[in-house]
Amino acid sequence: MKKAGFIILWAFVSSGLCAAPVIYQAENGVLNGTYVSTALAGYQGTGYVDGFDNSGDYCRVTVNVPSAGMYDITLGYASTMGGKVNDLYVNGVFQAGVSFPASSGFTSTAAGMVPLNAGNNTLRIQHNWGWFYLDWFGVEPAELPVLDVADSLVNANSTDATKCLMTYLASNYGVKTISGQDTAGSSQWIYDNTGKYPALCGFDMMDYSPSRVAYGAADPMQVEQAIAWYQNGGIVQFQWHWNAPSGLIDSGDCPWWRGFYTSCTTFDVEYAMNNPSSQEYQDIIRDIDAIAYQLTRLRDVGVPVLWRPLHEAQGAWFWWGAKGAGPCMQLYHLMFDRMTNHHGLNNLIWVWTTQGNEAAAAWYPGHAYVDAVGADIYLAGRNYSPSTAYFYNIVNLVDGQKLVALTENGVIPDPDLMQDQEAHWSWFMTWNGYQNNPEQNELSHVQYVYNHNYVITRDALGDIYNCVQETPTLTATRTRTPTFTRTVSPTFTRTRTETPTFTRTSTATPTFTATGTPASTYTRTQTPTPTFTRTSTATPTFTSTPESTHTNTPDISATSTFTLTIAETATPSFSATAGSSATRTGTPAF
């Protein structure tokens, strides 16, 4: 679904071109726990801000714009102690974690697209990792990208139901947001307190991990619950808190069931991926196959799955991201190939969880392996911001070609703000325990969200899995009265009766011998045989086969030439002398 972008016009220079970003010097802002320094050369203005050492340290400036709308924020900085991430707030509301890549001197980075009101607004950079230098803030009008994604899937062999789900997601992108809740139990709480079920329910493959099964993890019944959710018309999402294939510490603060955390396993994903003959690599294959079996159970009953593996990898707190982007991308591609090509899991929509900063590009598997991207965002309690800058940072990361979703959230973003700021997350999925925590989401807010006309709930989905129209097979009986001309050559029997009239003149010198009296009976043969011409006109009577309606004018006017031999019996009356010539008159019978 296309969403028209727009340009916010701000200021012009005398040449008629748009002005460069308006710069606000950080050292002139309000400082909390920070201070102005000039130790590192290369800054603009009279200095830069240092001292982002502790939680709550910040620098805040006031900026002024002529009209309300979306604006791009750029930050001048130096990060000589490695790459860092710190947080951007606009008018007191969190917008995004901003990446500050490592640098040897002062440079700049894009902080993202944010909403500003007409007049004065505050921009604040606050400690997250800290340990960087802030030089200036730049503000300029932004152009919103068009939210228009294809509904095709990276797996060309996807099932019809999976294609239909993707078509539904794409058609609503930029128009509405799909509600989601982690776990079936929490989804029931949503219904009990709002009268609506979330459209999407999140499930986890965690306890199907072989290393957890080996420690006695009970059957989590996640597949059975997911099938029931699908049969009730809902959308199924699965993530996988993948307990490390081996090397679980299982002591102290790291019991076996925390084995997906980097700190609770010695498993080295980089070594495993670089050594395919190793036991570690074989353990990875074993684990992927075990989860593929569970996904096959879903496939075999027709359930499409929003499949979100290796989530939050960039944070490195899970073992699959602990060794950096390279090994993690190798692992993702291995999983994609084995599940798609080896196991034939054609019911998956592949979802990648990323971060809204420049460093995220190195952690992106590529357009050919991802159907949708998302962010896991946990804001301070009751902060219902739609995280607009974060949203558009991810849109830009994938060149606007993929759906962008809020794949996990604590507080639920305000639907009105999502529309006002055009932060059109494809779906959101509130994490288990946050939906009913009044310090995170007030009950009145949850009820407001689930009864908002911008939010899609399960009852509004309809039959989203049957969008493929079959080509019908038709049996038709046609009665036709044709118009045509037919020429036939009939077979017929013709009987003709006629009494020919002719004149015969015969000149002959008969030779014969007479015995007895003149009244005797005799046979005469005449030589030569006379020749004559007959002209006949008649209307024949005939029978024609086949029986048809036609006009037939046969040619029956003819001239016939034939030879006639006559055997004649007569009682002549004559007088003759032997050898004499005579003329005879008579009526022959023939």
**Residues designated catalytic:** 312, 408
Q: How many CB atoms are closer than 10 A to CB 542?
A: 13
Instruction: Annotate 311-325 with DSSP letters as a single string.
Output: TTGGG--BGGGTT-H
Q: What is the largest CA-CA distance in the chain?
A: 176
Read off the amino acid at residue 84. K
List Cβ neighbours of 580 (8 Å cut-off, separation of 6 or more).
none
Q: Structure tokens of 94? A: 């969190």
The residue with tokens 């993948």 is: 242
Q: How many CB atoms are closer than 10 A to CB 109?
A: 18
- 3-state SS assignment for residue 116: strand
Pairing of strands 133-141, 180-182: unpaired
Which residues on adjacent β-strands are paired with residue 377? 409
CA-wise closest residue to 94 among 335, 408, 506, 411 = 411
Cα(235)–Cα(458) distance, integer angstroms: 8
The residue with tokens 């080996």 is: 214
Angle at 367 between CA 365 and CA 371, to 5 degrees: 95
Read off the amino acid at residue 486. R
Cα dihedral across residues 341, 344, 349, 353: positive or negative = negative
Cα(179)–Cα(308) distance, integer angstroms: 17
What DSSP designation does 17 have? Answer: S
CB 201 within 8 A of CB 268: no
What DSSP designation does 233 have? Answer: T
